[in-house]
């Protein structure tokens, strides 16, 4: 029996990786770009889902400009809060399951240890509040959902910390990077692989619905991540890297001091282990240098 998978998003980091994956033969994958469905107008979602009649929907589209969201709260809420709720409602009507990507920013970062799925959310930024609203809307509208919270996403394409460090490393002899925010860099490729594995598992009756955490293993800081990027990029000479406190680099949006997520549940339910961000970083740097993605997956 053919299983139709509809992916919202085509140009984002995770959505591009989803398009690169090899999917099982019994799955037909349809991917919609922004011009086919505008999340700033959630009414366009229903017609797309009803027309394509998918069995599974993956929402890989989002408003991800964390700082800009502080000055565009209405747009951020429409895309991250209202659109996922409407998507869940139409999925419920047509009998489709929904996979949705969320974020560590739903937490304020004050917990001393790793966050588990059941911890109380308390976002400190507009972006985090809009993503929290999207989660709540999905839970209220659709039982057959999987929400995957992740953190510090990077890839060989798009706007992300790796690309920024490479650009600045080529322009400046010295860089100052925050060293008191802790989290796990997670590659878009690994997130895409996890989402595909969840689709396969649920189609076979394995796993569970609900909220899950998925990040790479070995938490670090932005400073530690930057160090690995610069060391792996082969700069000659290597730019000097200095650790600084968050207070020395103020931003419009408040970032969590602790973004570490406990990923025990996704491994228990789906058998998905935490990958190494160092391995993924090596692949991403090679992709940037060679202009082609790794063959993994």
CB burial of residue 74 (10 Å; 0-12, 13-18, 19+): exposed
Active-site residue, 249 included: no
The one catalytic residue among 63, 105, 115, 127:
127
Give the pair of three-digit tokens for residue 278: 């160092």
pTM, entire model: 0.95
Number of Cα atoms under 13 Å in the Cβ half of residue 253: 23
d(CA 103, CA 206): 24
Rounded average pLDDT per 10-residue block, the chain, 297 residues: 92 95 95 87 91 96 96 97 97 98 98 97 98 98 98 96 96 96 98 98 97 97 97 90 96 97 98 98 93 59
At residue 292, the pLDDT reads: 60
Q: Which domains does the chain have, with CATH numbers?
A: 3-160+184-218+260-275 (3.40.50.720)
HSE-up of residue 223 (Cα within 13 Å, Cβ side): 15
Q: Which SS3 state, helix, strand or coil, does residue 182 take?
A: strand
Q: How far apart are CA 228 and CA 89, in angstroms?
A: 43
Nearest to 269 by CA among 198, 196, 189, 193: 198
Tens-digit pLDDT profile for residues 115-130:
999 999 999 999 999 9
- CA distance linking residue 13 with residue 294, whole number of Å: 15
Q: 13 and 154 in contact (C-beta within 8 Å)?
A: yes
Q: What pLDDT is recorded for position 290?
A: 75
């Amino acid at each position: 029996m053919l299983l139709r998978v509809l992916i919202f998003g085509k140009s984002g980091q995770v959505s591009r990786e989803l398009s690169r994956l090899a999917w099982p033969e019994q799955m037909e994958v349809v991917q919609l770009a922004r011009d086919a469905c505008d999340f700033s107008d959630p009414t366009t979602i229903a017609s797309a889902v009803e027309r394509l009649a998918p069995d599974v929907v993956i929402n890989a589209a989002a408003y991800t400009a964390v700082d800009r969201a502080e000055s565009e709260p209405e747009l951020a809420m429409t895309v991250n809060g209202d659109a996922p709720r409407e998507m869940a409602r139409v999925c419920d009507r047509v009998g489709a399951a929904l996979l949705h990507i969320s974020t560590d920013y739903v937490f304020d970062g004050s917990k001393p240890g790793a966050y588990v799925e059941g911890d109380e959310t308390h976002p400190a930024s507009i972006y985090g509040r809009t993503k929290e609203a999207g989660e709540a809307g999905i839970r209220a509208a659709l039982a057959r959902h999987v929400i995957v919270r992740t953190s510090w996403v990077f890839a060989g394409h798009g706007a992300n910390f790796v690309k920024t460090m490479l650009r600045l490393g080529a322009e400046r002899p010295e860089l100052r990077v925050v060293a008191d925010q802790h989290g796990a860099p997670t590659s878009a490729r690994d997130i895409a692989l996890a989402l595909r594995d969840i689709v396969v598992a649920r189609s076979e009756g394995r796993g569970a619905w609900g909220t899950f955490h998925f990040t790479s293993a070995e938490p670090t800081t932005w400073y530690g991540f930057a160090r690995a990027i610069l060391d792996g990029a082969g700069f000659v000479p290597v730019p000097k890297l200095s650790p600084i406190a968050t207070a020395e680099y103020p931003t419009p949006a408040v970032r969590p001091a602790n973004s570490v997520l406990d990923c025990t549940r996704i491994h228990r339910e789906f058998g998905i282990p935490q990958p190494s961000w160092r391995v993924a970083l090596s692949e991403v740097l090679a992709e940037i240098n060679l202009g082609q993605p790794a063959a993994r997956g």
